[in-house]
Structure 1
Amino acid sequence: MAPSPEKSPGKAANNPPATRKAPAPIPAIAETSFKTKKLVWIVGSGFLIFVALGVCFLMLCYFKRRPGNKSYKKHNMNAYERSLEKRTCSDSPFDAPNDEEKGKSDDEAPDELKVHVKRIYSSSECNNLYELNNTGWGSKLPPLQPAPPHQLPIIPGENLIINQAISTKSSERQIITNSIKVYSVASLQQYTNSFSHDNYIGEGTLGPVYKAELPDGKFLAVRKLNATACMGQNHEQFLQLASSISKIQHANIVKLMGYCAEYSQRLLVYEYCSSGTLHDSLHTDDKFQIKLSWDNRIQVSLGAARALEYLHEHCQPPIVHRNFRSANILLNDKLEVRVSDCGLGSLLSSGSVSQLSGRHLIANGYSAPEFEYGSYIMQSDVFSFGVVMLELLTGRKSYDSSRPLGEQFLVRWAVPQLHDIDALSSMVDPSLNGTYPKKSLSRFADIISSCIQHEPEFRPAMSEIVQDLLRMM
């Protein structure tokens, strides 16, 4: 029988209230699953750590074995040296080690590879070449000394290439000086006896010409450019003119030997031709002058034609002579032609010199019809060449004020008679005494007629004239 609440008050106070429930116990299955997962994580982590340690150990062993592989190092070094033995710059002052040194270095046991790096500069084939030179085994590597600035080794025998875009005036002078001989005023005064009258050769459009005798007995011709010719031309322009003339190289053109540019003087020094000018040979009564036969006249015409052909068709840019006349055709002791005043067109076409030379050509009968309108072209040279051939044919001057009015200008007098065989024979130079072939005379006249055509486009090129004259030889 249950006791009454009034009888056991202490028990009633100690017992929990009837509404609180005790926590439920954890099931055995859930506890087992948790322990299994924890064990799996521990085992997996340990395995990964073991694998990582193994990989590290293998890599450590690999790198420890690799530096000790002497055959591997030797093989790669030999292959690298063989690739360097192929030289890419000729005449290098740095030579590779010879075979004996290579043999010695292979027999020794290397601890460290010592390589010297040398920087070689070469402007002809390569700009930067690094040459590795094996210096032997067993010695310690000396410290590399830095090269001093701007002291690159110079390879002997190489050409200096100058960038024209950045070349200075001094370098331009040096180039010209190296290509042409430079004379001083004092030396030329000595060679010409102070430009005495006894050494005077003649007067040209640009100034007088004097004969100069060198200490070794050789002769030169010195042209003094007058103030009018040099007007408006500075020193650098004169040097450039001398340089351009020196590049004109032909067997039938007078060669420029040097120049002088001191004390405001401008002089050009040429080779000397001992037999004077064609004008003197044809129009001087001096008994010492060479008398030209018919064959000589054809030969002179051919030489002069070849000179103009070279100027017109082989020079780049083409050169117009602008002052072609018999006084500018020089002869040596073998009667070989040397045409003078080539390359001076820039002086002849400038300012007052152009007016002077133009009046001179017109007055002496060498000027082409278009020159009266201010035009002078390559075909104008062809016209002047035809006038020189007329001088060779007739022995007359291009202009002779001593003759009757209708015969003073050679071209005007000769043109109507060139195609008349009877009149042509009467035109021939009397000094030939009729010693010429009739057929050759007719061909010679045909060439003259084609050269002095009134319209420039109807005149032949100088190469055609050369071929026509060759067929007459």
Structure 2
Amino acid sequence: MATAASSVSVKLLLLVAILVVFVVVTVLLVFFLCLRGSRSCKSRKLAAKHSSGSIPLVSKEITVVKALDLTPSEVADDVEAHPKKEAEIKLQIGGAHRAEMSVEDPDIGWGRWYTIREVELATRGFSEGNVIGEGGYGVVYRGLLHDGSLVAVKNLLNNKGQAEKEFKVEVEAIGKVRHKNLVRLVGYCAEGARRMLVYEYVDNGNLEQWLHGDVGPISPLTWDIRMRIAIGTAKGLAYLHEGLEPKVVHRDIKSSNILLDKNWNAKVSDFGLAKLLGSEKTHVTTRVMGTFGYVAPEYASSGMLNERSDVYSFGVLLMEIITGRSPIDYSKPPGEMNLVDWFKAMVASRRSEELVDPLIEIPPSPRSLKRVLLICLRCIDLDVVKRPKMGQIVHMLETDDFPFRSELRTVRDKDPLPSHADVSIKVPSYPPKHAETVEKSRWR
């Protein structure tokens, strides 16, 4: 009997011990899980604080830091060893310590987020042999990405924060825009004070090179090709003005900013001076910027900017396409230095045929020439309201049966005085030379 009682008590003790051990283990496990969950929650909050999945905000005061001192071989080894390495952005704000943050998905926001190492590898360490253009805001390099695609890398100069300004403007203006006549922004790079924009590579130079370069006795730009380029440029601008909200005013339309592909398709580039204009605004007052010879007179004199300023610049560009002359050419006689003045004088004296670039082998038909001359004169009308919209210009360039008679009848009704213009419209005299701020933004 005593033996049985002692056996039962031993079993009870073992059961109690097992239960105590189980409770202790359970408590420890719960405590461990709670501690781990707390740490995970803190790390998620910290990550959310530094990375919002969009373009990183950059302070207006950026301390200049030296570029990474890497050799091309070191860059290649790094990319090969880490083909899926997370993009790292290093910002130095107001003298504070450098903050490093990782972005799990580099393909976010406006295009791809490239690291400085990827860009250096693509451009062979920004070698001089890869330079395809340079201007007031930086240097453009030809680049070859690891996937074999060609790009144009615009390395912005950090002149008193100008790099950040142009970087933000271009990303805001065309970051998500996709149009066949606008250069596509593939991605960007922002590390330290470095700001770079990565564009699609357009492989046939720019319009300025083909109009004013050494192309031989006969220009490869036939009249039809020139009209195709003009129409493509007009369509790109029409999309910026009428297809976006807010609308985009380019502010620097010129031949060097019209890139061409192998099929002579035009692509408008260089949006570093662009301005966004909401539908509720008729204009915006801003510092006068642009390129001498292309800037609209009212913008140069008052700083009041809207899409009709681009229309004036397009009119000058169209004159340049027709004549093969630069907007300002100091090598010409005094009466021919200013393209607009000379152009209107030639039309008024009924010498329109002499306006056509002599390098064009087969001249245009009189009707086709008259149509384009009329478009030019309407684009540069000193009355801003009378300038056509870019969408209307596209229609006028594409339509063969342009209503000359109705247009001329309207002009005659308004102006009963006889006209000496070849297209029978009164050409207003050009005002005295106006001061224009020259901001070069050339991408060759």
TM over 0.5: yes
Q: Does 1:466 align with 2:394?
A: yes
Displacement of 1:228:
2.6
Shift of residue 216, structure 1, vs aligned partner: 4.3
- The SS at the match of 2:332 is coil
Shift of residue 214 of structure 1?
A: 2.6
Rounded Cα–Cα distance in structure 2 between residues aligned with 1:229 and 1:286: 39
The one of 41, 51, 54 equivalent to 1:172 is 54
Q: State the match for 1:296 in structure 2.
A: 225
TM-superposed deviation, 1:239: 6.3
Change (3 A) 1:441 1:209: same
In structure 2, relative to structure 1, the CA distance for the partners of 1:438 and 1:289 (3 Å cut) is: closer
8 Å contact 2:241–2:307 — kept in the other structure? yes
Q: What is the 5 A alignment of 1:38-77?
A: none
- Alignment deviations for residues 106-130 of structure 1 (CA, whole Å, 9 cap, x no partner): xxxxxxxxxxxxxxxxxxxxxxxxx
Contact 2:316–2:380 (CA under 8 A) maintained in structure 1:
yes
In the TM superposition, residue 243 of structure 1 has moved relative to its aligned partner by 5.4
Q: Distance in 2 between matches of 1:404 and 1:256?
A: 42
Partner Cα distance (1:186, 1:281) in 2:
35
Aligned pair in 2 of structure 1 residues 469, 253: CA closer, same or farther (>3 Å)?
same
Q: Secondary structure at the match of 2:182?
A: coil
Cα distance per residue 1:205-255 (max 9 Å; x no partner)? 422211112344431111111113744948xx9568525522111110000
- For the pair 1:368 / 2:296, whether they are aligned, the reply is yes
Which residue number corresponds to residue 444 of structure 1?
372
Query: How far off is 1:290 after superposition?
Result: 6.8
Shift >6 Å, 4+ stretches: none
2:217–2:359 Cα contact (<8 Å) kept? no
Alpha-carbon deviation of 1:417?
Answer: 2.0
Distance 1:232 1:239 in 2: 9
Deviations 1:237-277 (A, max 9, x none): 95685255221111100000010001310000001111100
Q: After superposition, what is the alpha-carbon deviation per residue over 1:322-346, rounded to whole angstroms, capped at 9, x for unaligned? A: 1111110000011111100237525
Gap runs ≥5 in structure 2: 1-32, 38-47, 56-102, 277-285, 402-444
Q: TM-score, normalised by structure 1?
A: 0.58
Within a 5 Å distance, the mapping from 1:272-421 to structure 2 comes to: 272-286=201-215, 291-342=220-271, 344-345=273-274, 358=289, 361-362=291-292, 365-372=293-300, 373-421=302-350
Contact (CA 8 Å) 1:260, 1:266: kept in 2 or not?
Answer: yes
Name which structure has the greater RCO, CA cutoff 8 Å, separation 6+: 2
CA positional deviation for 1:183: 1.3
Are residues 1:249 and 2:178 paired?
yes
The percent identity for this pair of structures is 36
Q: Is the 8 A contact 1:319 1:343 kept in 2?
A: no
**Letter matched to residue 393 of structure 2:** I
Q: Per residue, is there more helix in 1 or in 2? A: 1
2:141 is aligned with 1:213: no
Query: Counterparts of 1:230 and 1:445 in 2: how far apart (Å)?
Result: 42
Task: Determine which structure has more spread, i.e. the larger CA radius of gyration.
Answer: 1
In structure 1, what is the Cα distance between the partners aligned to 2:339 and 2:243? Answer: 31
Query: Contact between 1:280 and 1:289, CA under 8 Å: does it hold in 2?
Result: no
Which residues of structure 1 form unaligned runs of 5+?
Answer: 1-147, 152-165, 348-353
- Pick one of 342, 354, 374 that aligns with 1:426: 354
Shift of 1:418: 2.6
Query: Secondary structure, in 3 states, of the residue corresponding to 1:172?
Result: coil
1:13-42 CA-to-partner distances (Å, cap 9, x unmatched) read: xxxxxxxxxxxxxxxxxxxxxxxxxxxxxx
Deviation, 1:438, is: 1.1
Q: Residues 228, 384 of structure 1: CA spacing in aligned structure 2 closer, same or farther, 3 A cutoff?
A: same
3-state SS, counterpart of residue 435 of structure 1: coil
Distance 1:244 1:402 in 2: 37
* Mapping 1:130-169, distance limit 5 Å: none
The more displaced of 449-458 and 169-178 is 169-178
The 3-state SS of whatever aligns with 2:263 is coil
Aligned AA for 2:117? A
Give SS of 1:319's match: strand
**More displaced stretch, 172-181 vs 303-312:** 172-181
1:375 CA drift (Å): 2.0
Provide TM-score, normalisation by structure 2.
0.61
CA distance in 1, matches of 2:151, 2:219: 21
Please state whether the residue corresponding to 1:228 is helix, strand or coil: coil
